[in-house]
A and B are shown apart, each in its own frame.
Chain A
Amino acid sequence: MYTELHARSAFSFLEGASLPEELAAVCKEYGMASMALLDRDGVYGAPRFYLAAKKINIAAHIGAEVTSAAGWRYPLLVESREGYQNLCRLITKMKLRAPKGKGNVSGAEVAEYAGGLVCLTGGEEGPLAHALAEGGIESGTECVRALCEIFGKQNVYVELQRHFLREEEARNHAAIEIAEKLGLPLLATNGVRHAQPERREVLDVFTCIRHHRTLATAGRLLARNSELHMKTPDEMVKLFSDLPEAIANTQLLASRLQFTLKDLGYEFPKYPVPDGKPQIHFLRQRAHEGMISRYGPNDERARLQIERELNLIEKLRLEGYFLIVWDIVRFCRERGILVQGRGSAANSAVCYALGITAVDSVKMGLLFERFLSQERGEWPDIDLDLPSGDQREQAIQYVYERYGKLGAAMTANVITYRGRSAAREIGKALSFNPETLNRLTSLVGAWEYKDANDTLARQFRDAGFDMQHPQIRKFFELCLQFQDLPRHLGQHSGGLVVCQGQLDSIVPLEPATMPGRVVVQWDKDDCADMGIVKVDLLGLGMMAVLEDCLQIIKTDYGEEIDLGRLPADDPVVYSTLQKADTIGMFQVESHAQMACLPRLRPECFYDLVVQVAIIRPGPIVGKMVNPYLKRRQGREAVDFLHPSLKPVLERTLGVPLFQEQLLRMAMIAAGFTGGEAEELRRALGFKRSEKRMKEIEIKLRCGMDKNGIAPVAQEKIVQSITSFALYGFPESHAASFALLAYASAYLKCHYLAAFTAAILNNQPMGFYQPDTLVRDAQRHGLKVKPIDVTCSDWLCKLEKNAPDFCVRLGMRYVKGLRSDVALEIVSQRAIRPFLSIEDLKLRVPLIQKSELTTLAEVGALNFIAGKHGVHRRDALWQIERAARRPGPLLEETEGAEEEPVNGSAEAASISSAMQSPLAAMTGEERLVADFRGTGMTVGLHPMGHHRVEMKRRGVRSAIELTHLPDGMRVKIAGGVITRQRPGTAKGFVFLSLEDETGISNAIITPQLFEKYHVVIVHQQFLLVEGRLQNQDGVISVKAESIQPLGITRAETTSHDFH
């Protein structure tokens, strides 16, 4: 019987064309008991291969092809755990000293790490083929002899491959002769690169991508035939009928390869406790201190819960993990970095006591087992939210320093081919011209929602491609085949893995593109599957906003705000939320959230938790939003699906909204164990398979039958659970997010200027463009001042505008202005004020003409020559001269004229010298210039300039709509700020139109969208006519006709296609 012991997967990045799971499946289909995966310079695909093989009950042997200094590759198979550790260390050594994607090993290094590894002589890229080509059979014999010296004679197999190629057969003859001479066993393999023969096409395209060629020019670089696919044992036996021992040896060798990934030997590091006491003792002390500060000394319920959790933590020996996370949090606190735990950790009272999370799980009655259970045998998952940017980096570097370069690393993020990237690469290989390629790639994946007709085939036809054309058809087929194949290894945004001892013996490490970063070869799911614990340090834009906001409040208002001690039930915050006046607030600012808020009318923190969780694809697709809102408003009776579910669903009025509720429902209704419920949770996750869902559904129904639940209730329960397949939030996670939502709402309501400056300084983030944020702040009474080089900094800042503050826009909003130029302007200005544009140009020589032009155009140079100022065109006129410096001959004379001038008379003369023969910009021109130069205006909204005409045309302003009755026919108009076509909305499009009074929303049916597609997508100002829907304070217009509104040439922008 034959076993394939030399196969590459697509994790050889562009050198293999099938996923490990596909290889395992074909292996099973062909009746092989085991198979070995040898990817290039790594074990990237090993966890997926191992898990897939485990599921179908075949053995997954691990190995790798390791590149030598001469360019050929050692095919190495892992025999034991020592061999695996050696392989990981060898690859790590090679990777960490070379640029990303490069590297090789020397013979001496291989010898150092040869223990526990079996070496094959390889196919056409192996050592033997290379030696034979270099120096014939003598050289080949020497090469194999050298391998025997490195690995030991018993660990070297002479490999034979047969792909019906003359050169290969000649090599085989030589190999057999050498094997006989040296007394080595022969081993048949097929050097597999793809599972099925037809995947050769993908491999050929990969070859083109690797060599930057097209299929037409790649010539002999392409595969000579399609024989590199998996072959059945019968085929292989027939192919090697003259050498039966080569087939038999595959079995013998496979039986030697005892190592599997189950055997990793991973240990989480121990926390270095200061006085050498046991870790649990130290943890108990910290938890106790935390408990007293959080709950006070007399909260018996909290004490008991914490005690229970600590006992379990001790039992599971996880004290080190908690202490390490606590240590990171402590580091952040000491550095003044905002940090907050989220995810299932928020279910833990210990995490709350340790300051890791800010959600009181005892008070909220959260399920601790969701975070940690004895039964599950899985590491807990703690995610820490940090402000995005430098501060998160500080925390990451702290972990590296603390645990060493080989003790901590980021998890990888496997970048796979998606519609657009696949289309681009395939198009290039098929020699499509760049224009065609751009058109093609712009076609793919523009909207989240795809209706039944919105297929790739239709998109092709729409773009004028002939699907009958063989090349286009081939392109189309290849695009489909490319989906989900790995493209390269990226770095996960925040997942850190830490290991006791050497992480490089568990998984190979690689340098990341970012200097100072190291990544493991597995992504976060693979790490979790392999039982490696990770801590996610995630950058959250809103955390950065909150932190900046607190800093501004401290500096400008002179007040210290502690987010942990915000007033819990601030009436202003809740009334603002109820009015859906939430632009800029975390998690509650989207169109869908705004449409829900006036109906849900949050009155306490838990309502906000529900609000955050309810507008998710899970509850929306599961049709849980409306029942919940109706029950909350008392328009529908509360129903618990089944009386036994009352304790679970009582808090959410009988409607399941959180993940925990679904797990508990499965446990109560269908008798699932905790482990089975966890399996259900995973099945609901991202990598959802229809088959797995079906299996679970059958299991659910069986369980419910046993518990005597009626078919109607069963149907409802199954629907609730399966619709969550598009995932909803766990309650603890929603609570963590609700805290941030509350904090952002509180700061916006009470410190609008500081909040606006902070959010503008952290763009891009959130749902709206800066222009919308500024306008919203203005509607709330904030004065926002324009950019001015005489007082603006790089960032937006506050200026005293008695009795309150106003925001001065920062130069970061000047398009094309480099930060170092802006900082130089600020530092030169601090030395002495600029006298003229020429003075600025002389003192900031870095500045380019285009930058000066934009500054002038947006009015930032108007006050450069004094407080009376000039107009924008005056500045533009001067720039042209300042930018054309005279030649060296006249430079001295020019310089002499520009000595610093003091005194108001001189300043006035300079101001008059700044004047030009040009006419000042009109209002419309200023508007166009503002949007072109900064993407926003602090002046009147473009619609405001045309209100009289709008009134004449019967157009209502956004604010008027609130007073109009439901069902009335209205016209609304404004600049489009968002266009959405959510995946859950069946093709409906939601537009938000802004005018000078606020925002109005339009709902567009799929038919109408089809009709006005071009206008809706391409026009920035629209007039929409339709029926007003004014229900429970939620206002929108159901569009019946749409027309472009050419009121300005200003290039406003919108946030589209969420």
Chain B
Amino acid sequence: MAFASIHVPNFLVQAVMRAEPTLRARAVALVDGTPPIWNVVAANEAALQAGIELGMAKSQAAQFCAVEIRQRSRLQEKSAHAALLDLGASVSPRMEDTAPDTIILDIAGLTSLFGSEENIARRLMRHASSLGLIAHVAVSSNLEVALHAARGFSGITLIPPGEEAKRLGRLPVRALLPSAEILETLERWGVRDCAALAALPLLQLSERLGQEGVRLHEFARGASLRSIALAEPAVHFEEEMALDFAVAELEPLAFLLGRLLDQLCARLQARALAACAIRLRFDLEDSFEKDFQVLGKNYSPKLAPKTYEKVLGLPVPVRDSKMLLKLLRLQLQADPPHASIVKIILSAEPARPRAAQGGLFLPSCPDPEELELTIGRLANLVGNANIGSPELVNTHRPGEFRMSRFIPASDESKISQENGTAAAAHVRKEDHTSKPCLAATAFRIFRPEVQAKVELQDGYPARIYFRGMRGNIVAASGPWRTSGDWWREDTWQQDEWEVDIRFDASASRRNERIPNSRTQDGLYRIYYDSIRAAWFARGRYD
């Protein structure tokens, strides 16, 4: 039984260097954070020697001219980790995915294939190098020993059976990854390497550091035993299809999508799972002419992307391929790809299927899948932003609301009972001056707003022209002034008026499309938008 552990030191920096090999000879520091705050999270030895410290602000690090500053890249870390797994898989199928920067291989019996253990280690080093990674490799019959040796010693470390404790002696205790508290205690004690730790009497150590102390002591002596935790290949529910001929129309595409969805749903069923989201990706045909035209017209300097992606979120986990196809079709109808499709990649996010039972005495409500389909159809007609439940926003901005996801009545009533009272209490607490206003009349808001022309007399609106009608304002009340959101770019400043309008009848007689003006007479709310320097009609009182 032998194990090889492969560790990539300073993994974050190496992941970035792997994508930019010219950095290898340079001092490099990685920064990470939320803009505008960036801190150094990793640096190579050269950068540390130049004076870079972890946690330092980017602006401070930037003062070190010799140091290259790069942003940490999780994507590159992911691909570096994938490369590490590939490296392991190239030698042994029995592999433990210990950490992003470390894997352990079971290399028992591989000597007949690759030669001695040293050869295997060399092979691993070489492969790592060809993958753009500098790795430490340690081989031991004890898995933990191999693991810690790879973390603590550079290059290749071969530890023969029986020499574990001796070889680990020089290893810093930090490599055993103790908890921060214990590491601090060990540092206070002056116990810095495994030899010093192993030399401590076990019983007295356990009295002081408890079970973790005992475990670390075993590590330090190379006496810890555990089995390899084999990495399970990740289950990806993904299907892809490269097309011989580019597809440009929805019907043939739907046919292909249907096939792929059938396969996906079958796989999901095999594992007793359903999909809570479907990801769709199309590789698109190069549309040189189209791009050329776009560029030629100078409308946009950006080239259209060569892929098309869509995520279909589902309210409940589904594995009905027909239902999924219908939903995908609606999405594609609403937002079709801009070029012909040459490849389809479809993946499902697995989730446990819905296991709900309707109450016997509860009123029946729409089937969630059917409802989703209906909402999808409506969204297809009116646009996603225009469907859902309207909700008032806590602002003085006139007419402001947002659309929230539509929740069926039964659930909603429950939710609104819980949230509604809280929300009402919230509003009361927040704005105790505004009392519920008992409106004598209803007010119909024009959406979108209607632009108007208004003539003023002594500062009061006197005549108005909108929707092709001209009217005299016989009474006006206002202005009611609101302004706000001055810290945002979409600040507003409006003067509202309530106006009683008598429309000119001649306009409607001349033009049939204009409604009968007499029926349009009444009380309106109009406003002057100071930012846009224009008048608008906001709505009409019933």
Contact = CB atoms under 8 A, between A and B. Distances in A.
Interface of A: 124, 133, 163-167, 200-201, 204, 215, 217, 219-227, 430, 433, 435-436, 439, 462-466, 470-472, 474, 853, 857, 873, 876-877, 880-881, 884, 917-919, 921, 925, 1013-1015, 1044
Interface in B80-122: none
Interface string B115-140: 00000000000000000000000000
A1049 to B, nearest CB: 11
Interface string B421-437: 00000000011011100
Contact of B481 (A204, A225, A433, A877): A225
A442 to B, nearest CB: 9
B207 interface: yes
B191 A918 contact: yes
A464 B59 contact: yes
B210 interface: yes
Contact of A164 (B60, B190, B430, B495): B495
A1014 B63 contact: yes
A925 B190 contact: yes
A472 B480 CA distance: 31
Nearest to B210: A884
A881 B36 contact: no
Contacts of A165: 480-481
Interface stretch (B326-334, B342-350, B460-468, B484-492): B484-492
A447 to B, nearest CB: 16
Contacts of A876: 188-189
A279 to B, nearest CB: 56
Interface string B200-232: 110010011110000000000000000000000
Contacts of A1044: 51
A918 B190 contact: yes
A873 B189 contact: yes
8 contacts: A219-B394, A225-B482, A463-B57, A474-B486, A877-B208, A880-B185, A918-B189, A919-B190
A164 B481 contact: yes
Contacts of A226: 483
A364 B209 CA distance: 71
B479 A164 contact: yes
Interface residues of B, number: 48
Given A201-B486, A430-B487, A433-B34, A220 B394 contact: yes
A1013 B188 CA distance: 33
A220 B210 contact: no
Contacts of A464: 36-38, 57-59
A470 B491 CA distance: 12
B22 interface: no
B201 A917 contact: yes
B395 interface: yes
Contacts of A881: 204, 207-208
Contact of A435 (B33, B209, B478, B489): B33
B431 A465 contact: no
A623 to B, nearest CB: 35
A433 B33 CA distance: 11
A430 B488 CA distance: 10
Summarize A's interface: helix, strand, loop or mixed. Answer: helix
Nearest to B393: A219
Nearest to A929: B188
Nearest to B494: A225
Given A435-B34, A1044-B51, A222 B484 contact: yes
Contacts of A166: 480
A462 B63 CA distance: 10
Given A201-B486, A227-B481, A436-B36, A884 B207 contact: yes
Nearest to B432: A71
* 3 closest Cβ pairs, A-B complex: A219-B394, A880-B208, A164-B481
B396 interface: yes
Contacts of A430: 487
B490 to A, nearest CB: 11
Nearest to A920: B190
B199 interface: yes
B189 A221 contact: no
Contacts of B430: 219-221
Nearest to A919: B190
Contacts of A921: 190
A877 B36 contact: no
Contact of B51 (A471, A918, A1015): A1015
Given A877-B208, A1013-B63, 6 more contacts: A224-B481, A436-B34, A470-B489, A472-B36, A881-B204, A917-B200
A463 B59 contact: yes
A224 B34 CA distance: 33
A465 B59 CA distance: 10
A1020 to B, nearest CB: 13
A857 B431 contact: no
Contacts of B196: 919
B391 to A, nearest CB: 13
Contacts of B64: 1014
A220 B481 CA distance: 14
A853 B63 contact: no
A832 B201 CA distance: 33
A853 B33 CA distance: 35
Nearest to B58: A464
A878 to B, nearest CB: 9
B433 to A, nearest CB: 6
Contacts of A1014: 51, 60, 63-64
Interface in B11-52: 33-34, 36-38, 51
A474 B435 CA distance: 33
Interface string B263-274: 000000000000
Contacts of B190: 873, 918-919, 921, 925
Contacts of B60: 1014
Contacts of B57: 439, 463-464
A528 B27 CA distance: 62
A471 B487 contact: yes
Contacts of B189: 873, 876-877, 918
A466 B210 contact: no
A220 B396 contact: yes
Nearest to A463: B59
B484 A224 contact: yes
Given A918-B189, A1015-B51, A221 B36 contact: no
Contacts of B204: 881, 917
B395 A220 contact: yes
A820 B190 CA distance: 31
A1014 B40 CA distance: 15
A217 B64 CA distance: 41
Between A470, A884, A1014, A1015, the greatest number of chain B beta carbons within 10 A of the residue's beta carbon is seen for A1014
Contacts of B484: 222-225
Interface in B261-315: none
Between A163, A227, A435, the greatest number of chain B beta carbons within 10 A of the residue's beta carbon is seen for A435
Contacts of A227: 481
A267 to B, nearest CB: 44
Nearest to A204: B486
Contact of A917 (B33, B199, B435, B480): B199
Contacts of B480: 164-166
A857 B51 contact: no
Contacts of A223: 484
Contacts of B481: 163-165, 224-225, 227
Nearest to A124: B433
B33 A215 contact: no
A224 B494 CA distance: 11
Contacts of B479: 164
Given A133-B435, A853-B188, A466 B36 contact: yes
A222 B487 contact: no
A158 B417 CA distance: 43
A133 B433 CA distance: 8
Contacts of A225: 481-484, 493
Contacts of B487: 201, 215, 430, 471, 474
